[in-house]
Amino acid sequence: MNRKTIIMCVTVTCVFVMVVSVALFFLYSGTDKSKNGLADTRDFMLFSAVPSDALSVMKFSDLASMTECLVSEQSALHYFVTEKAERGKMVAFLEKLSASSSLYNSAMSSPAVMSVHNIGDLTPLLILDAGKSGANPAEAVDSLNSLALRCGLTAQYTDATDIAPAGSPLRKRSLMLISPSDILVQSSLRHLKSDISVWDVPGFAESVRMSADDAMLILPASGVEKTLTAIFSSKYRAYPVFFRKYADCTSFSITNFDSETFSMTGRSYSEGGASDFMNVFSKVDPSVPEVASVLPAYTIHAEALPLADVSAYIDAYFDFCETQSLSKTLESEFSALEKRGGIDPADWAESLNIREVAKAAYVSGGTVETVLLVHVGKKDSAILTKEGASSKDGGNTVIRNYAWTGYLSALFGPLFSTDDEAHFILENGWMIIGSRNALEEYTSGRAVEYTLAEYFADASITDGLSGKSSYFVSYHSLTEDESFTEAMFAKNFLPAVKASFGDISYEPVFFSVEESKSGMELNFRLHRTTVTKSQAPTFERDTSVPIPEGPFRVKNSGTGKMNLFYQQDNLYLCLQEEGGKGLWGVPFDAPICGCAQTVDYYANGKLQILFASGTKLHLIDRLGRFVNPPFPVNLGKEILLGPDVYDFSGRRKYNVMVLHTDNTIEMYNLQGRRPPEWKTITSSETIKGLPERIRVGGNTYWVVRTSIQTLIFGFYGGNTLTDFSGDRMIRPDSEVKPTGDNAVEVVCYDGRKHTVKLN
- Read off the pLDDT band of 20 (50, 70, 90): very low
Distance CA(562)–CA(570), nearest Å, equals 24
Q: Which of 26-35, 174-183, 287-296, 490-499 has the lowest mean pLDDT?
A: 26-35
The domains of the chain are located at: 9-269, 309-449, 533-676, 691-759
Q: Which of 212-221, 241-250, 439-448 has the lowest mean pLDDT?
A: 241-250
Helix (H) / strand (E) containing 265 = strand 261-269
Bigger pLDDT: 648 or 521? 648
pLDDT of 328 reads 78
- Read off the pLDDT band of 166 (50, 70, 90): confident
Closest CA to 55 of 217, 245, 210, 206: 217
Bigger pLDDT: 279 or 311? 311
- Read off the pLDDT band of 24 (50, 70, 90): very low
pLDDT of 716 reads 96
- Is 263 a residue whose pLDDT tops 50? yes
Alpha carbons within 13 angstroms on the beta-carbon side of residue 42 total 13
pLDDT of 665 reads 98
For the chain, percent of residues with pLDDT exceeding 90: 40
- Read off the pLDDT band of 78 (50, 70, 90): very low
Q: What is the DSSP string of 429-471?
A: TEEEEE-HHHHHHHHTSHHHHSBHHHHHHHTT---TTSSS-EE
Mean pLDDT, rounded, for 237-242: 56
Mean pLDDT, rounded, for 471-483: 87
Distances (CA, A) of 269 to 13, 28, 231, 361, 584: 16, 6, 24, 32, 81
Average pLDDT score, the chain: 82
Mean pLDDT, rounded, for 450-464: 87
- Read off the pLDDT band of 2 (50, 70, 90): very low
Mean pLDDT, rounded, for 312-333: 80
What residues pair up with 257 in beta bridges, in sequence order?
262
Q: In angstroms, how far is CA 752 from the centroid of its own chain?
A: 18
Residues 402, 423 contacting (CB under 8 angstroms): yes
Helix (H) / strand (E) containing 99 = helix 85-99
- Read off the pLDDT band of 136 (50, 70, 90): low
Give the CATH number of domain 533-676: 2.130.10.10
Mean pLDDT, rounded, for 738-758: 86
- pLDDT tens, 637-650? 999 999 999 999 88
- Is 292 a residue whose pLDDT tops 80? yes
- pLDDT tens, 337-387? 999 988 999 999 999 999 999 999 998 877 899 999 999 987 665 566 554
Distance CA(245)–CA(230), nearest Å, equals 19
Cβ density class 394-419: b for 16+ within 10 Å, e for less = eeebbbbebbbbebbbbbbbebbbbe
Distant-in-sequence, close-in-space partners of 696: CB < 8 Å, separation ≥ 6 = 738, 742, 743, 744, 758
Distant-in-sequence, close-in-space partners of 48: CB < 8 Å, separation ≥ 6 = 39, 164, 168, 169, 170, 192, 197, 199
Q: Is 245 helix (H, G, I), strand (E, B) or coil?
A: coil
List the end-to-end C-alpha distance of the chain, in Å, as a whole number: 43
pLDDT of 624 reads 95
pLDDT of 620 reads 97
Q: Which of 106-110, 112-116, 435-439 has the lowest mean pLDDT?
A: 106-110
List the alpha helices (DSSP H) in 179-262. 182-193, 204-211, 221-231, 240-243
Distance CA(379)–CA(389), nearest Å, equals 16
Residue 518, amino acid: S
Q: Which of 240-254, 643-657, 665-679 has the lowest mean pLDDT?
A: 240-254
Distances (CA, A) of 87 to 175, 180, 367, 498, 695: 21, 6, 38, 19, 52
Closest CA to 89 of 145, 153, 184: 153
Residues 595, 586 contacting (CB under 8 angstroms): no
- Read off the pLDDT band of 682 (50, 70, 90): very high
Bigger pLDDT: 104 or 598? 598
From the number of C-beta atoms within 10 Å of its C-beta (0-12, 13-18, 19+), residue 679 rates as: middle
From the number of C-beta atoms within 10 Å of its C-beta (0-12, 13-18, 19+), residue 72 rates as: buried
Mean pLDDT, rounded, for 558-564: 92
DSSP letter for 716, please: T
Mean pLDDT, rounded, for 288-313: 94
- Is 258 a residue whose pLDDT tops 90? no
Mean pLDDT, rounded, for 294-323: 89
Of the spans 11-15, 91-95, 564-568, which averages the highest pLDDT? 564-568
Mean pLDDT, rounded, for 663-670: 97
- Read off the pLDDT band of 108 (50, 70, 90): low
- Is 14 a residue whose pLDDT tops 60? no
- Is 267 a residue whose pLDDT tops 70? yes
Residue 213, amino acid: D
DSSP letter for 165, please: P
Closest CA to 22 of 260, 302, 400: 302
Number of other residues whose CB lies within 10 A of the CB of residue 745: 14
